[in-house]
Amino acid sequence: MSKRILFFILFSWLASAAFPAFAQQKTDTVYTFRFVTQKDMFYVPWNGNDTELARLLECIENNKATILDGKLPLLVDGYCNSQSCEVKNLATAKIRANRVKSELITRAKIKEENFITHNHATGGDFVIVRLTIPAKETAAMDAEAEARRRTEAERLESETRAEQERRAEEQRKAEEARLAAEPTVAGRRERQKAEAEKAALQNALAGTLSDPKITTDYHLSLRANLLRWATLTPDLGLEWRICPSWGIAVNGSWTSWTWSDKDRRYALWEVAPEIRYYMGEKKAWYLGAMFKAGQFNYKLSETGKQGDLMGGGITTGYQLRLNKALTLDFNLGLGYLNADFEKYEVIDGVRVRCGNETKNWCGPINAGVTLVWKLF
């Protein structure tokens, strides 16, 4: 009986001594990183290495303070058995272990002294990293990580749902506004038609009023001085733009009018060749040189004048683009004219000469508002 009591007391003491040690038992957390045969390069996105690395970084982050204090070292074992000899296997295993440690030092911000490293010339082509963490802490850490993942998932789901609701609300309001602005199909069609007509009008105006920066085409144009036509003097001409900056123009006028039983007369013809130099970015302003020659026969009173005229000068002007084909040319010429003519009277239907005269003129010799039509 005394032996049984002694055995029970001894068993109780051993159990009480072993239970705290069992309660403080530690658990190894193991992470395996695999390498290509005979290679020492650490490929993170290969053969599950990225998943293992993410798990290890999370574990390090949860125990970082303990690791940096030196109380929880990272046990690194490098393995290689694919080389030709043991020396090469150990060298390759060392390089593999160092590559894994470098990755952890860079990403987790830990130090070399936080590792305990061993290299092996057997076992395979991998590196094992172990963390010996108390079982209770491991369970708590896993629960905390799971709680964080669940919270993050709920947050993302909530944000996604809120974004979907916001977009749906925006689409609903936009549709309501569109329906309010277009209550009927006919109204929508009328609006579309009006928009199309407005766009066509804008395009036409843009083609009509917009001036190109530089006239680059070499074209031939027909000209008509509207001021001459207003005085019942038909006037036509041509202009050849030989390059963007230079042009050659020639205008001609002719008219012959009589009234009061031919006692009054207004008749003339003129030819005026001109060379022009166009200036500016749009080539709208120009300077030119003109020569003018012709004959005239005026009898607007009792005495008529009939003779020749000749002269020339400089011209200047501006061309206003109306559309792709039409332009208005505002021009003025200053220079010298000489006129030799004879005076005459008509007595009983007979023309009687009254003498000769010569006149010289300095000043305006030409003015025009000319419509220019581009032929080609």
Count of C-beta atoms within a 10 Å radius of residue 161: 10
Task: Give residue 204's pLDDT.
Answer: 66
What beta strand segments (E) does 25-124 contain? 26-34, 74-79, 115-120
Percent of the chain whose pLDDT exceeds 70:
83
The least confident of 128-142, 204-218, 272-286 is 204-218
Domains and CATH numbers, the chain: 25-180 (3.30.1330.60), 220-374 (2.40.160)
What beta strand segments (E) does the chain contain? 26-34, 74-79, 115-120, 126-134, 220-225, 235-243, 246-259, 264-279, 285-299, 304-321, 326-347, 350-374
Task: Give residue 213's pLDDT.
Answer: 45
Task: Give residue 114's pLDDT.
Answer: 92
Task: Give residue 276's pLDDT.
Answer: 95
What beta strand segments (E) does 110-245 contain? 115-120, 126-134, 220-225, 235-243
The least confident of 115-124, 151-160, 249-258, 336-345 is 151-160
Using CA atoms, how far apart are residues 265 and 258, in angstroms rounded to an integer?
4
Q: Does position 6 have pLDDT exceeding 80, yes or no?
A: no
Give pTM, 2 decimals.
0.42
pLDDT tens digits, one per residue of 237-283: 999 999 989 999 999 999 998 888 778 888 999 999 999 999 988 89
Q: Does position 287 have pLDDT exceeding 80, yes or no?
A: yes
CA 282-288-293 angle, to 5 degrees, is: 145
199-217: average pLDDT: 58
Q: Is the dihedral of CA 332, 336, 341, 345 positive or negative?
A: positive
Using CA atoms, how far apart are residues 344 and 304, in angstroms rounded to an integer?
5
First-to-last C-alpha distance (Å) of the chain: 135
| Helix (H) or strand (E) segment spanning residue 268 | strand 264-279
Cβ proximity of 315 and 366 under 8 Å: yes
Using CA atoms, how far apart are residues 253 and 275, in angstroms rounded to an integer?
18
189-203: average pLDDT: 76
Task: Give residue 149's pLDDT.
Answer: 76
> Which has more pLDDT, 319 or 189?
319
Cβ proximity of 60 and 110 under 8 Å: yes
113-118: average pLDDT: 94
The least confident of 73-87, 120-134, 323-337 is 120-134
* Token pair for 47: 């053969």
Strands laid side by side in the 126-134 sheet: 26-34, 126-134, 74-79, 115-120
The letter for the amino acid at 328 is: L
Average pLDDT along the chain:
84
Task: Give residue 193's pLDDT.
Answer: 79
